[in-house]
Structure 1
Amino acid sequence: MSGIRDWRNLAYLLRGSTVQREVYTLLQQLDIMNVLAEYEPMLVGTVPLGIQVESSDLDIICEVYDQEEFTVTVRRSFGQMDDFCLVTRLVDGIPRCKINFRAGGWPIELFAQPQGTGRQNGYLHMIVEAHILNLLGNEFREHIIELKSGGMKTEPAFAHLLSLNGDPYEALLALGELELGELDSICKRSYSNM
């Protein structure tokens, strides 16, 4: 599934919507991917998928083993930005760091944990969602945007439209582990029953 696009190369945004091109320009102006380069940063979430709504933010995940060094780097480069906020905590014994700020009219969230970005849930959700969007087309995409505009988060919106049971975040991760044929079959069957 991840072979569809090189998500690390933000040039795909230049071939996207007006919003995606604006986001590309903003990220270049901030030089954020270069500042964070040693942490393997990756833009994930709704903007790469073209399903952002007015309340969407720019989510950048990072692979970080030294949180102190990471926070010093981020504070030095972005600490002066509006609404700068940094929170660190342990979740299931894993240290996580979340940094939020605003730039160019966008809320930006940096999420860091000691795991490769290609194995983090934000990325895994995005690649399965990208596959589902490509498979089910524009009508499905519009339904996702409609649910998100009504206040639903992305993963619950996908789970709702695909009639997935249980925790929507876990359900999407489980879909991502299926063989493509099985995934396609489940998605087409579930969505056609709506």
Structure 2
Amino acid sequence: MLTDCCHLGTDKTAAPAAVFPSVLASGAGGSPNWRRLDYLAHGNPRQRSAHALLMSGVWDTLQSQCQDMALVSTVAIGLDKPGSDLDLICQHPDPASLGARLCAQGWQGSEQSKEVWVLEQTRRGPDGQEWPLELYVTPSPIETLHGWRHLSLMATLLEHFGHDFYQAVLRLRRDANLKGEAAICQLLDLPGDPYLALLTLEEVDLAPIVWQAAPLTHHSRFENTLSMPRIS
């Protein structure tokens, strides 16, 4: 049994096999560590498939060329759907040089800005499943990037609000074809650009906040029984 993994909620409220690595299990507090992959091997079929692909040489090859690296895909928290990318972030002091090197290794990439390269590739894993990979290369520390911060927030929200919230997010992902950030912001009535709106929850104390699915509708209720924080 892994000592650095935790399930979302309890066995009754957990998102099915949506496990993620966290120092919370040790009682020390903190946030998930998306540099790890071992938890995927203990997850649902798609998580195990992603793990098999990444461990078939993809992860080690990239890790040997990056200063720091993480998987920040929704597969990490069980919110992926067929066709979802495996989103990877890489810290490198010279994105252009690494980008050119990876293009020579079969990736397709382009410079997004002076300090950002985005590279893509589709790979077939040992189980025959094809996965699109997207690699974001930047000299910035990976824990400061939106991909890391968004995934950490989504994991926290799933753990806090429980199984019904997880299922509601997953329905919006699959039925309305929404990104995870957009689905969560819709359920929590967060206006504006969902990629920015979600980050407003980083400083919010979730403890007194409850979420309930509104019966017979696609809407929800986001309530704080003490005082509703300003999150817009």
Partner amino acid for 1:171? Answer: A
State how 1:64-143 maps to structure 2 within 5 Å.
Answer: 64-77=92-105, 79=106, 84-90=107-113, 95-104=115-124, 105-143=130-168
Which residue does the alignment assign to 2:88?
Answer: 60
1:159 pairs with 2:185: yes
Give the SS at the match of 1:115. coil
- For the 8 Å contact 1:162–1:190, the answer to whether it is kept is no
Q: Give the superposition deviation at 1:42.
A: 0.4
Are positions 1:18 and 2:45 aligned together?
A: yes
What is the CA–CA distance in structure 1 between the aligned matches of 2:188 and 2:94, rounded to whole Å? 39
Is contact 1:101-1:109 (8 Å) kept?
Answer: yes
The CA distance in 2 between the partners of 1:9 and 1:135, in whole Å, is 22
RMSD (Å), alpha carbons: 2.1
Tell me: CA distance 1:52–1:22, structure 2 relative to 1, closer, same or farther (3 Å): same
Conserved? CA contact 1:163–1:190, under 8 Å = no
Q: 1:47 aligns with which of 75, 86, 89?
A: 75
Distance 1:122 1:152 in 2: 16
Q: Distance in 1 between matches of 2:139 and 2:50?
A: 26
**Superposed CA offset, 1:84-119 (max 9, x none):** 4211122xxx62111111001111000112211111
On the 8 A contact 2:123/2:131 being kept in 1, the answer is yes
Identity %: 30
Instruction: Flag the structure with more relative contact order, 1 or 2, with Cα contacts below 8 A and sequence separation at least 6.
Output: 1
**Structure 1 regions of 5+ residues with no counterpart?**
none
Partner Cα separation in structure 1 for residue 183 and residue 207 of structure 2: 18
TM-score by length of 2: 0.71
CA distance in 2, matches of 1:152, 1:47: 15
Asked whether the equivalents of residues 172 and 183 of structure 2 are also in contact (C-alpha less than 8 Å), the reply is yes
Name the SS for the 2:140 alignment partner: coil
Cross-structure match for 2:208: 185
More helix, by proportion: 1
Q: Secondary structure at the match of 2:164?
A: helix
Cα distance, 1:153 vs structure 2? 1.2
Distance 1:177 1:64 in 2: 29
Q: C-alpha distance in 1, partners of 2:207/2:134?
A: 31
In the alignment, the residues of structure 1 paired with residue 118 and residue 96 of structure 2 have an alpha-carbon distance, to the nearest angstrom, of 13
| CA apart distance, 1:76 | 4.0
* Ranges in structure 2 where 5+ consecutive residues have no aligned partner: 1-21, 24-29, 125-129, 214-219, 223-232
Mapped to 2, the partners of 1:67 and 1:177 lie a distance apart of 31
Larger Rg: 2
Change (3 A) 1:190 1:62: farther
Cα pair 1:102 1:108 within 8 Å, conserved: yes
